[in-house]
Amino acid sequence: MTTEVSEDRVRWIEYKGQRILKVDFSGLSKDEGIPLLYREAEMMQHVSGKVKTLVDVRNGKAGSEYMKHARKLGKEVFFAKTEKQAMIGVGPAQMVLLRAYNFFTGAGRYQEIFNTEAEALEWLVSS
């Protein structure tokens, strides 16, 4: 899938000397996040070893097409390439979708949910 994604939505950041892939789904509705999933996967595949990710889903909504692509990439790329994943902004409706995603992909093994970006970043850089 060809993707045109704003660079500020999927980008590398540095925190306490560690490189983290930040993916910003905040405010996106239904299936608008699909291109971000593919950009995230592409960036992860260009790195040797595993990646730490910070995923922001505040005020975002996922549609059925988004979830289909998320499950596919979760199995094909994200599970193998993710060391740790910190998520912020997960609300009750998103939690239902996240549990389903984790069931299908196994992502719950490396994933934690946080209230703030600061907490998430601290966890990502902890050993």
- Alpha-carbon separation of residue 126 from 16, 65, 73, 107, 116 (angstroms): 10, 34, 26, 19, 16
Q: How many CA atoms lie within 13 A of 16 on its CB side?
A: 9
- Alpha-carbon separation of residue 40 from 51, 74, 90 (angstroms): 11, 11, 19
Report which residue type is found at 46: H
User: Domain spans of the chain?
Assistant: 10-125
pLDDT per position in the chain (127 positions), as tens? Answer: 444 667 799 999 999 999 999 999 999 988 899 999 999 999 999 999 999 999 999 998 888 899 899 989 998 999 999 999 999 999 888 888 888 887 877 777 889 899 999 999 999 999 7
What is the domain class of 10-125 according to CATH?
A: alpha beta
Edge-to-edge order in the sheet of strand 111-114: 10-15, 18-24, 51-56, 82-88, 111-114
Distance of alpha carbon 124 from alpha carbon 19, whole angstroms: 10
pTM of the full predicted structure? 0.88
